Amino acid sequence: METPKVPAPRDEGEKRILAELMSIRDQLQLRKLDRTTYVRTQDVMVLYEKTIEQVNAFPEPPTEWPLLGYCGCTLTWVFLAVDRVVDSCFQLLSLFFMTIGRNNEAPAAYSLTSTIKRLLDHLDEANLFSAKDLASIEHTLERLSKIVNDTKTKEPAPFLEALLSSRIDRCRETLDVLKQRLKEYDEAIIPTHERLVSILRQMAAINTKPKFKPEDINKLRTQLKEIESQMVDGHFVGQRASLWQEVSKSGGQFPEAWKFVYNTLTGIRNELDKLSLTQAWSLRETDLYDYQRQLDKIDENRVDGNWVDAKGQPADLYVQRTLLYLIRRSYGYIYHLMISSEPVSEALLPIYNQLQTLKRCLIEVQNNGGVSSVRELYPYSMKLNSIDNLRVDGKFMVSGDIPEGQGSVSELLSQCYDLNYELRVAAEEMAEQENPDSKDENE
């Protein structure tokens, strides 16, 4: 599973635990690959409890676990094979918790904290971020912290709560460093800084295209010159100006020694981009695991913050910037896919997505003046009734199970009914105003 080599277990006890954990990981992998049935809550919880049982078998359950993130550094600690497998189990279980709609429970935070730490370290390393980037991450960390604190009394494994709290604290430390760096800019030039960040990111995106038009670069160069003409001191821009020459010189061609890594990262970035467009209908959160592991391996292959080729030669600045952009962009997609995950089991997602679409349609109708007659609302009313009729004793059942997310689906259904009712009342009032001497044809 794209996992780097690590030291073997230290004693027979760890070997036994490792064997059990590897069996659990394999079961999680098989369940992840099975698309013939929905993931059931009870199946996930059985494997979660088995994992907890094995970790509790450690002489000293950990208060810290692998939370990799380099920011230009080499690996400064070594963790054993059993630690790696536990990490894989919790990464998978975390994504499974999202898949079954238990997003607001502590285990679901495990994978997200890993991604946030990677993302923060890469923002720090690239030194290319804006206040908006940090605001989203800060909000997510606050939400995760609340989830972890709220589940302290419910979580059967106190070590997991301590571990997640430690992870969140480490993320906050890096976040504070980045926020402090932004404070160095005068408030008056913050908009200019954000424009420059946007331009540089667009340049990096162009840099990853096998073919691009010169006018794409020229448009951005024009924007940069406009900004530069308004600045008294162009030093900040000058530090990054070489990127134009690098992109123009490469012509979309990447050095042969780095083609494999480049193509791998480009492929991951493109696949995650597609998932971001079709997330509501096609994403199972556990799909993100393989992308994470591939990215982790590439990221961990760096030496002193840079990638080295087969001969041990470090990549030049152009290659390093491009690969770092791709890996950072990919982690960014994973982060947004995770925080966009709805607290609804995948078994209920088809119903939930239909209601989301229906709600958007009703809002669009409302924003465009409503309907001219109640009859125009019949298709919406029929769809709502057909979904409502799927409930058994007030619950949406799937294959005899009651999937997670009942409250979210019911609330969305209620919102659609309310919108439909408001449109009906408005149509009836309009009809009465136009013909006050007769009753509405639909009464």
pLDDT tens by residue, 243-295: 465 555 555 578 888 999 999 999 999 999 999 888 767 789 999 999 999 99
Residue 442 lies in a domain: no
* Final residue of a structural domain among 339, 358, 389: 339
**pLDDT at 324 (0 to 100):** 92
351 contacts: CB under 8 Å, gap ≥ 6: 387, 390, 396, 409
**pLDDT at 217 (0 to 100):** 81
Do 168 and 61 share a domain, yes or no?
yes
- Contact status, residue 96 vs residue 30, Cβ threshold 8 Å: no
* Final residue of a structural domain among 339, 365, 397: 339
Helix (H, G, I), strand (E, B) or coil at 173: helix
Do 137 and 21 share a domain, yes or no?
yes
Residue 122 lies in a domain: yes
Q: What angle do CA 154, 144, 96 make, to 5 degrees?
A: 70
**pLDDT at 213 (0 to 100):** 76
Cα 275 to Cα 246, 269, 279, 291, 335: the distances in Å are 30, 10, 5, 12, 12
Do 279 and 175 share a domain, yes or no?
yes
Residues comprising the chain, all counted: 443
Do 104 and 157 share a domain, yes or no?
yes
**pLDDT at 10 (0 to 100):** 59
Buried b (16+ CB within 10 A) or exposed e, 189-221: eeebbbebbebbbebbeebbeeebeeeebeebb
Residue 355 lies in a domain: yes
Name the DSSP class of 8.
Answer: P
**pLDDT at 437 (0 to 100):** 63
Segment 129-137 long-range contacts (CB within 8 Å, at least 24 positions apart): 129/178, 129/182, 129/197, 130/182, 130/193, 130/194, 130/197, 130/198, 131/182, 131/190, 131/194, 132/194, 134/175, 134/178, 134/179, 134/182, 136/339, 137/171, 137/175, 137/335
- Contact status, residue 268 vs residue 291, Cβ threshold 8 Å: yes
Residue 4 lies in a domain: no
Q: For the segment 107-163, what is each residue's pLDDT rounded down to a tens digit?
A: 999 999 999 999 999 999 888 888 889 999 999 999 999 999 887 656 566 778 888
Do 165 and 55 share a domain, yes or no?
yes
**pLDDT at 193 (0 to 100):** 82
Do 162 and 214 share a domain, yes or no?
no
Residue where the block lists tokens 């990464």? 91
Strand partners, 401: 398
Helix (H, G, I), strand (E, B) or coil at 399: coil
Give CA–CA dist 331/335, Å, rounded. Answer: 6
Residue 5 lies in a domain: no
Do 37 and 99 share a domain, yes or no?
yes
- Contact status, residue 377 vs residue 424, Cβ threshold 8 Å: yes
Do 160 and 297 share a domain, yes or no?
yes
Cα 208 to Cα 39, 246, 261, 289, 316: the distances in Å are 37, 12, 12, 24, 16
Q: Quick one: tokens of 259? A: 């083609």
Q: How high does pLDDT run on average in the chain?
A: 83
DSSP helix, strand, coil percent of the chain (3-state; round to 5): 70, 0, 30
Helix (H, G, I), strand (E, B) or coil at 405: coil
What is the total count of domains within the chain? 3
The letter for the amino acid at 129 is: F
Residue 6 lies in a domain: no
* Final residue of a structural domain among 231, 250, 269: 250
**pLDDT at 127 (0 to 100):** 86
Do 148 and 16 share a domain, yes or no?
yes
Q: Quick one: tokens of 264? A: 């791998």
Residue 440 lies in a domain: no
Residue 441 lies in a domain: no
Do 30 and 140 share a domain, yes or no?
yes
Residues with pLDDT less than 70, the chain = 1-11, 59-81, 152-157, 230-252, 280, 437-443
User: For residue 113, what are the domain limits?
Assistant: 12-184+255-339
Cα 136 to Cα 55, 131, 175: the distances in Å are 33, 9, 11
Do 241 and 108 share a domain, yes or no?
no
**pLDDT at 152 (0 to 100):** 64
Farthest-apart Cα atoms in the chain, separation: 91
Helix (H, G, I), strand (E, B) or coil at 49: helix
- Contact status, residue 169 vs residue 183, Cβ threshold 8 Å: no
Backbone torsion region of residue 304, taken as left when φ is above 0, otherwise alpha when ψ lies between -120 and 50, otherwise beta: left
Give CA–CA dist 201/207, Å, rounded. Answer: 10
Do 278 and 396 share a domain, yes or no?
no
